[in-house]
Amino acid sequence: MWDLREAAEVLGVEVLRPKAPYEVRGACADSRRIQPGELFVALPGRKHDGHDFLTEAFARGAVGALVCRDPGVGHNLLLVPDVKKALWDLALWRRESLDFIAVGVTGSVGKTTAKELLAAALATAYRTYRAPESYNTEIGVPLGLLSVPEDTEVGVFELAESDPDELRRLCDLLQPWAGMITAVGPAHLALLGTVERAAEAVWTLAEALPEEGVLALAWDFPELRARVERCDGFCLRFGQTEEADFFPREIVDDDPKGIKFTAETPAGALPVKLRLLGAHRAVLACGALALAWGMGVPGKVAAKAMAEVPPLPHRLELRPASFGWILDDCFNANPVSVQAALRTLVKLRLPVKIRAALLGDMLELGPEEGLFHRAVAEAARRFGVDLLFAFGPRMSAAFSAFGGAGLAEPQDLSRLVSAVREALGSGPALLLVKGSRGLFLERAVEELSRGEEEGRGQKA
């Protein structure tokens, strides 16, 4: 916890309408998710202004608010010229006042999953804090730092990789001692241009580590292997290849309860079982095992802890539906993650007759986006997907490459959801839902899941 009055001194401002208590246990920029004792950060945005939600934030227990104007409600307001800059200044102050080992996780795919697995493993040996959800930007990381408990020994943070300058600033703020690079691939190419530049971007984390630090490096990517000589710290390699220090074999990925595999490590073979779906998660788990091992956690202990990590919302999460099941992977999408999700769709051992996919646009892929979308549609055909429902102008334009049954809808998600219902009927079927974050495909998931709840009510 930290004192709001001391924070005011750091920012050089007065506390407006002071009112005890002043102890702050964290920070949040979403009034709907504020927890008692947290500071509400009223960020102005394009669509919504946080200042309009102060009443809700205080009703939910906010201890104060960081604002750039006084809306006349609430107490313990820190009035500053620029809320985002003040948030950053407070986060830097807190980072310098806390003595913990910071661990950064970055990469084109799998950051949140790797963070959760790694934090679970490290928590067996250290008082560990993990940043919530996917707090990985210049807003999310500072919010996470302001929520680190005083007694934390290790903090695990996810770091966005779409902008090398942003990642460099995040590393300067976080001061990581250890790190994990999960992968590099065709994500955010509209900003980065090429996979080579994407590799240079994620390598920013490796360069930020001290000589005594530890890096877990995805060894399946030549763009990353080519940079390993530039790593000053202790580098542990993980991947699918047997050249890595940690790699999985004998992966069983058809069980809807989770995957299991054998992890080969420098200390010997290790059985691993996860509650997560997708063969690619075995590689991420090997990365978490590697970094945890490099930080002193024995493999068996780490594996036991990782086995308790629950499925993550909207990340290959299996949910019931009136027609059978939804494989909800709608949090985000790029060509690598979509093909991994398609493999999971066709591999899961479920009593279904139809395996379908609702795929939305993959954003930020740059001038070659058409080729990437066609490749995904062709992969769906190659993997044996029975029906494809394409949403968004890019995926709809690529729909013909699938060459099978389904529907392309550039704009009207409700129409597409209705078509899914009609096509799948009472099933039994498994539907994958995946697309970039900007398409908000959780709307489709919730609508189709409500069908299951309504069905239960009618049966009752």
- In the sheet that 154-158 helps form, which strands lie side by side, from edge to edge? 128-130, 154-158, 101-106, 178-181, 214-218, 234-238
Residue type, 38: E
Question: Is there a domain that residue 415 lies in?
Answer: yes
Of 103, 224, 105, 238, nearest in space to 160 by CA = 105
**Three-state DSSP state, 85:** helix
Q: How many domains does the chain have?
A: 3
Least confidently predicted of 45-49, 208-212, 416-420, 440-444: 45-49
pLDDT of residue 186: 64
Question: Is there a domain that residue 117 lies in?
Answer: yes
Dihedral (Cα; 249, 250, 253, 259), 10-degree rounding = -70
Write the CA distances from 364 to 190, 292, 395, integer angstroms.
5, 33, 13
CA distance 163 to 274: 32
Kindly state whether residues 71 and 108 are assigned to the same domain.
Answer: no
- The 10s digit of each residue's pLDDT in 21-32 is 999 999 999 999
pLDDT of residue 367: 84
CA distance 120 to 128: 8
- The 10s digit of each residue's pLDDT in 390-449 is 999 999 999 999 999 999 999 999 999 999 999 999 889 999 999 998 999 999 999 998
Among the three residues 59, 83, 107, which one is the final residue of a domain in this structure?
83
**Three-state DSSP state, 11:** helix
Question: Is there a domain that residue 312 lies in?
Answer: no
Among the three residues 244, 274, 306, which one is the final residue of a domain in this structure?
306
- The 10s digit of each residue's pLDDT in 290-325 is 999 999 999 999 999 999 999 999 999 999 999 999
Indicate if the pLDDT at residue 459 is higher than 50: no
Kindly state whether residues 295 and 362 are assigned to the same domain.
Answer: no
CA distance 419 to 402: 17
Kindly state whether residues 167 and 295 are assigned to the same domain.
Answer: yes
Question: Is there a domain that residue 257 lies in?
Answer: yes
CA distance 109 to 289: 18
Kindly state whether residues 300 and 269 are assigned to the same domain.
Answer: yes
Share of the chain above pLDDT 70, in %: 96
pLDDT band at 163, cuts 50/70/90? confident
Among the three residues 32, 58, 83, which one is the final residue of a domain in this structure?
83
pLDDT band at 185, cuts 50/70/90? confident
**Three-state DSSP state, 421:** helix
CA distance 55 to 263: 51
Q: Average the pLDDT over 194-220 and give the result.
A: 91
Query: What average pLDDT does the chain have?
Result: 92
**Three-state DSSP state, 16:** strand
Kindly state whether residues 46 and 115 are assigned to the same domain.
Answer: no
Q: Which domain holds residue 76?
A: 2-83
